[in-house]
Amino acid sequence: MKDLHNLTATEAVVALRSGDLSAKELIDASIKRSEEVDGSVNALPIKCYDRALDQAVALDLRREAENPRSLCGLPIAVKDYNDVGGIVTTYGSPIYSEAAAEKSDATVERLEQNGAIPVAKSNVPEWAGGHTFNPVFGTTRNPWNTALSAGGSSGGSGVALATGQVWLATGNDLGGSLRTPASFNGIVGLRPSPGRIPRGSRLPAFDSLWIEGPMARNVADLALMLDAGVGQCDSDPLAFDEPGLLFQNQLETGSMPKRVAFSPDLGVVPMAKEVAKVCRTAAERFTDLGAEVTDETPNFSGALEGFQTLRAVLLAVLMEPILKQHRDRIAPEIIGNIERGLEITPEQIFHAERVRHQLFHRMAKFFETHDFLVCPAASITPFPVDQRYVTEIDGVPCETYIDWFSITFALTMTSCPVISLPCGFSESGMPIGMQIVGKPRGEAALLRAASYMEGLLGMADQLPIDPKD
């Protein structure tokens, strides 16, 4: 059992499906690994082991084996912004530190319907942010160097995967909350197209900025989790079905990209020179797949300001009632975001929506001549863990506490699927990720290209790791 945490999720599900492993054996292995390493990184503060073992006993393996989307009892981690029935959802806030969810939300319920077993909930920033710390459970540390940040807001999920505590984990992504920790921790994360994965009822039904997505140690495992999580849902008006499509089966079938564009900064964000260099070198490996690599990047002007406006409105919609009742128990950065949302003018919203509309159509035009757009997944490498947020990038001051991950929220404005793929290391040995942007609802081609690039870059074999001081 000491080696089970080294299995890929794909290997583990094959063994579960055949009966060579049981769900209980993998739950026990997950518990053992967490006891060994989580004290150093604080990735999984909320355990639901008894619930998981009950699910394992109730699992009908014969029925699960007949379902091609089933994870057949594979233990997973669930981000603490998502509900797991009977378990607390704190959002990293003392306001909800003892608030147990009555039932799993739509995202988790779909995974459980397809054989996933949550064993723990992963740590998050308080309500939102790019660095995982909160007053309830403390700080999550990067396993590549525990003095550094794990990113956020899906930082706990990224660390749990990198350290082998679980085989798959949920994430969600508004402005990079899934892609940034994927980059910082050397794992893979997918921000799918809006509606690909159903969302819980806490979110505004017609918002398409906040997306639920899978996180894994490699692309094949990511496809496995995506298959288990997709589909139409009556409680989510944006969720849709694609009957018969299995992303696992698309990884080695279909054409390779012919033209790919690389941009170090999308023309609108500051970028650390080391990060840009590593990502450019990796992007040029697309030529090994027979693709031409160009620098013909779409125009992203206005995207950052537009995103800041729409994000502030969304946070105000979600949190104005909480602010009125609990102002003294909310982090100052979040208060500032909510209040900014309450002060947004109609003209600012009109402008942001026009920018988003125009950017989508510029992307559509771009995809007439290119298959993918590639850029870094973060403007910096991981920063000191005791620093609340980044204040400058290569000497350029950040105006807000989220400016340092604007390379990801610029792409949120496109509504295109984006994968964060490990592509190299910094001089100090920290992982660096790149984003690959695909056509709307083009996850199959995106995952296929990422899988081939993963093989060329050789990063997936680095995991899981033991935490390093």
pLDDT along the chain (469 residues), means of 10: 87 96 97 98 98 97 94 98 98 96 98 98 95 97 98 98 98 97 98 97 95 98 98 96 93 94 96 97 98 97 96 95 95 91 97 98 98 98 94 87 90 98 98 98 98 96 96
Give the containing element (helix H, strand E) for 121: strand 116-122
Cα 287 → chain centroid: 27
Is the backbone peptide bond immediately before 464 cis, with ω within 30 degrees of 0?
yes
Does 468 fall in a domain? no
Helix axes of 23-41 and 49-58: crossing angle, nearest 10 degrees:
160
Does 467 fall in a domain? no
Alpha helices per DSSP H over 302-421? 303-326, 332-343, 346-366, 406-412
As a whole number of Å, the end-to-end CA separation of the chain is 26
**DSSP of 350-377:** HHHHHHHHHHHHHHHHHTTT-SEEEEES
Does 420 fall in a domain? yes
Structural domain span for residue 254: 4-462
Does 60 fall in a domain? yes
Cα 312 → chain centroid: 20
Give the containing element (helix H, strand E) for 35: helix 23-41
Report strand pairing: 396-397 vs 168-173: unpaired
Does 50 fall in a domain? yes
Amino acid symbol at 258: K
Residue 82, number of CB atoms within 10 A of its CB:
26
CATH of the domain at 76: 3.90.1300.10
**Per-residue pLDDT at 17:** 96
**Per-residue pLDDT at 1:** 47
**DSSP of 247-293:** GGGGTTSSPPPSEEEE-SSTTTS---HHHHHHHHHHHGGGGGGT-EE
Cα 387 → chain centroid: 22
Report strand pairing: 418-425 vs 116-122: unpaired
Residue the block writes with tokens 């819980």: 200
pTM: 0.97
Counting the structural domains of the chain, the total is: 1
**Per-residue pLDDT at 401:** 73
Q: What are phi and psi of 168, to 5 degrees?
A: -145, 155
Q: What are phi and psi of 340, to 5 degrees?
A: -65, -40
Amino acid symbol at 251: L
**Per-residue pLDDT at 2:** 54
CA proximity to 410, closest of 320, 310, 319: 310
